[in-house]
Amino acid sequence: MAFSYLNRHLPSAEELPCSDDIPVDNEDQNLLPNLLLLLLTHVWSERLDWYFGVDMAIYHTTGLNPRVPVVPDAFLSLGVERKKGGKSRRSYVVWEEEGIVPIWVLEMVSHQPGNEYTDKMDLYAKLGVLYYVVYNPEFWQRDRHQPVEIYKLENGSYQLQIGEPYWMSEVGLGIGRYEAQIGGITQEILTWYDAQGDRHLSGEEQQRQRAEQERQRAERLEAYLRSQGIDPEQLPE
Protein backbone atom coordinates (compact mmCIF):
# COMPACT_ATOMS: atom_id res chain seq x y z
CA MET A 1 0.00 0.00 0.00
CA ALA A 2 2.82 2.41 0.87
CA PHE A 3 4.47 1.75 -2.47
CA SER A 4 1.23 2.44 -4.36
CA TYR A 5 0.86 5.73 -2.51
CA LEU A 6 4.41 6.74 -3.33
CA ASN A 7 3.92 5.77 -6.96
CA ARG A 8 1.29 8.49 -7.46
CA HIS A 9 3.86 11.19 -6.70
CA LEU A 10 6.60 9.98 -9.06
CA PRO A 11 7.13 10.80 -12.76
CA SER A 12 6.17 8.28 -15.42
CA ALA A 13 8.61 6.65 -17.85
CA GLU A 14 7.43 9.01 -20.61
CA GLU A 15 8.57 12.00 -18.55
CA LEU A 16 12.08 10.67 -17.89
CA PRO A 17 15.17 10.62 -20.17
CA CYS A 18 16.14 7.16 -21.39
CA SER A 19 19.85 7.57 -20.54
CA ASP A 20 22.35 10.01 -19.08
CA ASP A 21 23.59 10.95 -22.60
CA ILE A 22 27.17 10.13 -21.62
CA PRO A 23 28.78 8.27 -24.56
CA VAL A 24 30.76 5.10 -23.97
CA ASP A 25 34.48 5.52 -24.52
CA ASN A 26 35.22 2.17 -26.16
CA GLU A 27 33.37 -0.18 -28.49
CA ASP A 28 33.39 -3.12 -26.07
CA GLN A 29 31.03 -1.27 -23.74
CA ASN A 30 28.39 -1.70 -26.45
CA LEU A 31 29.55 -4.99 -27.95
CA LEU A 32 29.96 -7.21 -24.89
CA PRO A 33 26.63 -6.43 -23.18
CA ASN A 34 24.80 -6.91 -26.46
CA LEU A 35 26.48 -10.29 -26.95
CA LEU A 36 25.17 -11.30 -23.51
CA LEU A 37 21.69 -10.11 -24.48
CA LEU A 38 21.76 -11.92 -27.82
CA LEU A 39 22.79 -15.19 -26.19
CA LEU A 40 20.18 -14.82 -23.47
CA THR A 41 17.41 -14.42 -26.03
CA HIS A 42 18.44 -17.87 -27.27
CA VAL A 43 18.99 -19.54 -23.88
CA TRP A 44 15.74 -18.18 -22.44
CA SER A 45 13.78 -18.08 -25.70
CA GLU A 46 10.71 -19.67 -24.08
CA ARG A 47 10.67 -17.35 -21.06
CA LEU A 48 8.83 -14.04 -20.98
CA ASP A 49 9.59 -13.08 -17.37
CA TRP A 50 12.92 -11.28 -17.74
CA TYR A 51 14.39 -8.08 -19.10
CA PHE A 52 17.99 -7.31 -20.05
CA GLY A 53 18.91 -3.65 -20.49
CA VAL A 54 22.03 -2.26 -22.16
CA ASP A 55 23.25 1.26 -21.36
CA MET A 56 19.74 2.08 -20.10
CA ALA A 57 18.73 4.39 -17.29
CA ILE A 58 17.41 2.81 -14.10
CA TYR A 59 15.18 5.17 -12.14
CA HIS A 60 14.77 4.37 -8.46
CA THR A 61 13.74 5.94 -5.17
CA THR A 62 16.75 5.06 -3.05
CA GLY A 63 18.76 8.12 -4.11
CA LEU A 64 18.36 11.81 -3.35
CA ASN A 65 16.26 12.47 -6.45
CA PRO A 66 14.12 9.90 -8.31
CA ARG A 67 14.72 11.84 -11.54
CA VAL A 68 18.45 11.07 -11.39
CA PRO A 69 19.09 7.55 -12.74
CA VAL A 70 21.94 5.14 -12.56
CA VAL A 71 23.02 3.83 -15.97
CA PRO A 72 24.97 0.55 -15.82
CA ASP A 73 26.52 -1.01 -18.89
CA ALA A 74 23.99 -3.84 -18.55
CA PHE A 75 21.44 -5.19 -16.10
CA LEU A 76 19.07 -8.13 -15.75
CA SER A 77 15.70 -8.14 -14.01
CA LEU A 78 13.58 -11.22 -13.32
CA GLY A 79 9.84 -11.41 -12.79
CA VAL A 80 9.06 -8.57 -15.20
CA GLU A 81 7.63 -8.45 -18.72
CA ARG A 82 9.95 -8.83 -21.70
CA LYS A 83 7.92 -6.04 -23.29
CA LYS A 84 6.36 -3.55 -20.90
CA GLY A 85 2.68 -3.53 -21.84
CA GLY A 86 3.69 -5.03 -25.18
CA LYS A 87 6.00 -2.09 -25.97
CA SER A 88 9.74 -1.50 -25.79
CA ARG A 89 11.01 0.30 -22.69
CA ARG A 90 12.71 3.68 -23.01
CA SER A 91 14.13 3.28 -19.51
CA TYR A 92 13.69 1.00 -16.50
CA VAL A 93 11.53 2.71 -13.90
CA VAL A 94 11.48 0.67 -10.69
CA TRP A 95 8.20 2.12 -9.40
CA GLU A 96 6.53 1.07 -12.67
CA GLU A 97 7.95 -2.46 -12.38
CA GLU A 98 6.15 -3.31 -9.12
CA GLY A 99 9.27 -2.31 -7.22
CA ILE A 100 11.41 -5.03 -8.84
CA VAL A 101 15.05 -3.95 -8.98
CA PRO A 102 17.62 -5.65 -11.23
CA ILE A 103 19.04 -8.85 -9.78
CA TRP A 104 22.29 -8.51 -11.75
CA VAL A 105 24.27 -5.49 -12.90
CA LEU A 106 27.40 -5.17 -15.05
CA GLU A 107 29.84 -2.27 -15.02
CA MET A 108 32.78 -2.20 -17.41
CA VAL A 109 35.79 -0.13 -16.40
CA SER A 110 37.04 2.20 -19.13
CA HIS A 111 39.86 4.66 -19.73
CA GLN A 112 38.32 7.07 -17.26
CA PRO A 113 37.59 5.35 -13.92
CA GLY A 114 33.93 5.69 -13.04
CA ASN A 115 33.91 4.83 -9.34
CA GLU A 116 32.96 1.24 -10.12
CA TYR A 117 34.57 -0.02 -6.93
CA THR A 118 33.29 2.73 -4.64
CA ASP A 119 30.31 5.00 -5.27
CA LYS A 120 28.56 2.74 -7.78
CA MET A 121 29.06 -0.28 -5.57
CA ASP A 122 27.46 1.58 -2.65
CA LEU A 123 24.58 2.72 -4.83
CA TYR A 124 23.79 -0.77 -6.14
CA ALA A 125 24.00 -2.19 -2.64
CA LYS A 126 21.52 0.41 -1.41
CA LEU A 127 19.28 -0.32 -4.38
CA GLY A 128 19.35 -4.01 -3.49
CA VAL A 129 21.02 -5.48 -6.60
CA LEU A 130 21.96 -9.05 -5.63
CA TYR A 131 24.90 -9.55 -8.02
CA TYR A 132 27.30 -6.82 -9.10
CA VAL A 133 29.89 -7.68 -11.77
CA VAL A 134 32.85 -5.41 -12.54
CA TYR A 135 34.68 -6.25 -15.78
CA ASN A 136 38.10 -4.62 -16.07
CA PRO A 137 40.22 -6.46 -18.67
CA GLU A 138 42.55 -3.57 -19.54
CA PHE A 139 43.02 -1.48 -16.42
CA TRP A 140 42.80 -4.00 -13.58
CA GLN A 141 46.44 -3.56 -12.63
CA ARG A 142 46.04 0.22 -12.61
CA ASP A 143 43.03 -0.13 -10.34
CA ARG A 144 44.57 -2.92 -8.21
CA HIS A 145 41.71 -5.31 -8.85
CA GLN A 146 41.15 -8.51 -10.79
CA PRO A 147 40.07 -8.47 -14.48
CA VAL A 148 36.60 -9.66 -13.50
CA GLU A 149 35.10 -9.46 -10.03
CA ILE A 150 31.71 -10.83 -9.00
CA TYR A 151 30.12 -9.49 -5.86
CA LYS A 152 27.08 -10.79 -4.01
CA LEU A 153 24.99 -8.70 -1.65
CA GLU A 154 25.12 -10.24 1.81
CA ASN A 155 23.70 -8.48 4.88
CA GLY A 156 23.60 -5.17 3.05
CA SER A 157 27.16 -5.15 1.67
CA TYR A 158 28.93 -6.73 -1.28
CA GLN A 159 31.18 -9.72 -0.76
CA LEU A 160 33.65 -10.77 -3.43
CA GLN A 161 32.88 -14.27 -4.74
CA ILE A 162 35.45 -16.87 -5.72
CA GLY A 163 35.52 -19.04 -8.84
CA GLU A 164 34.97 -18.58 -12.55
CA PRO A 165 32.68 -19.23 -14.20
CA TYR A 166 30.59 -18.34 -11.19
CA TRP A 167 27.15 -19.93 -10.81
CA MET A 168 24.42 -17.54 -9.64
CA SER A 169 21.71 -19.88 -8.40
CA GLU A 170 19.18 -17.10 -7.78
CA VAL A 171 19.56 -16.01 -11.40
CA GLY A 172 19.82 -19.47 -12.95
CA LEU A 173 22.93 -18.50 -14.89
CA GLY A 174 26.69 -18.62 -14.55
CA ILE A 175 28.97 -15.82 -15.72
CA GLY A 176 32.57 -16.02 -16.88
CA ARG A 177 35.09 -15.16 -19.58
CA TYR A 178 35.68 -16.88 -22.90
CA GLU A 179 37.99 -16.42 -25.90
CA ALA A 180 35.59 -16.06 -28.82
CA GLN A 181 35.81 -15.34 -32.53
CA ILE A 182 33.94 -12.08 -33.11
CA GLY A 183 33.88 -10.95 -36.71
CA GLY A 184 37.02 -12.96 -37.45
CA ILE A 185 38.88 -11.51 -34.47
CA THR A 186 39.78 -13.50 -31.36
CA GLN A 187 38.57 -11.56 -28.36
CA GLU A 188 37.82 -12.16 -24.70
CA ILE A 189 34.16 -11.75 -23.89
CA LEU A 190 31.83 -12.30 -20.96
CA THR A 191 29.32 -15.07 -21.51
CA TRP A 192 26.74 -17.28 -19.79
CA TYR A 193 27.37 -20.74 -18.34
CA ASP A 194 25.12 -23.47 -16.97
CA ALA A 195 25.15 -25.06 -13.50
CA GLN A 196 27.74 -27.63 -14.61
CA GLY A 197 30.16 -24.91 -15.71
CA ASP A 198 29.56 -25.52 -19.43
CA ARG A 199 29.30 -22.53 -21.69
CA HIS A 200 25.88 -21.85 -23.21
CA LEU A 201 26.17 -22.12 -26.98
CA SER A 202 24.50 -19.76 -29.39
CA GLY A 203 22.00 -21.08 -31.92
CA GLU A 204 24.62 -20.84 -34.66
CA GLU A 205 27.16 -22.76 -32.57
CA GLN A 206 24.62 -25.49 -31.85
CA GLN A 207 23.91 -25.86 -35.58
CA ARG A 208 27.64 -26.16 -36.33
CA GLN A 209 28.00 -28.68 -33.50
CA ARG A 210 25.17 -30.85 -34.86
CA ALA A 211 26.61 -30.66 -38.38
CA GLU A 212 30.02 -31.76 -37.08
CA GLN A 213 28.46 -34.65 -35.17
CA GLU A 214 26.63 -35.78 -38.32
CA ARG A 215 29.87 -35.58 -40.32
CA GLN A 216 31.71 -37.68 -37.75
CA ARG A 217 28.94 -40.28 -37.71
CA ALA A 218 29.05 -40.49 -41.50
CA GLU A 219 32.83 -40.95 -41.43
CA ARG A 220 32.55 -43.73 -38.84
CA LEU A 221 29.88 -45.50 -40.89
CA GLU A 222 31.97 -45.25 -44.04
CA ALA A 223 35.02 -46.63 -42.23
CA TYR A 224 32.99 -49.54 -40.88
CA LEU A 225 31.57 -50.42 -44.30
CA ARG A 226 35.01 -50.41 -45.86
CA SER A 227 36.30 -52.65 -43.04
CA GLN A 228 33.61 -55.14 -44.08
CA GLY A 229 34.68 -55.04 -47.71
CA ILE A 230 31.76 -52.86 -48.77
CA ASP A 231 32.30 -49.88 -51.00
CA PRO A 232 30.06 -47.05 -49.62
CA GLU A 233 29.95 -45.56 -53.13
CA GLN A 234 28.34 -48.71 -54.51
CA LEU A 235 25.43 -49.00 -52.07
CA PRO A 236 22.02 -49.38 -53.71
CA GLU A 237 19.84 -46.30 -53.57
Q: Which CATH class is domain 2-200?
A: alpha beta
pLDDT number for residue 209: 74
Is residue 189 scored above 90 in pLDDT? Answer: yes
Residue ranges covered by each domain of the chain: 2-200, 201-237
Is residue 63 scored above 90 in pLDDT? Answer: no
Q: How confident is the model at residue 5 (pLDDT cuts 50, 70, 90)?
A: very low
Which amino acid is residue 199, in one-letter code?
R
Cβ-based neighbours of 104, under 8 Å, separated by 6 or more: 75, 76, 129, 130, 131, 132, 133, 168, 171
Instruction: Tell me the average pLDDT across 76-87.
Output: 94
pLDDT number for residue 3: 46
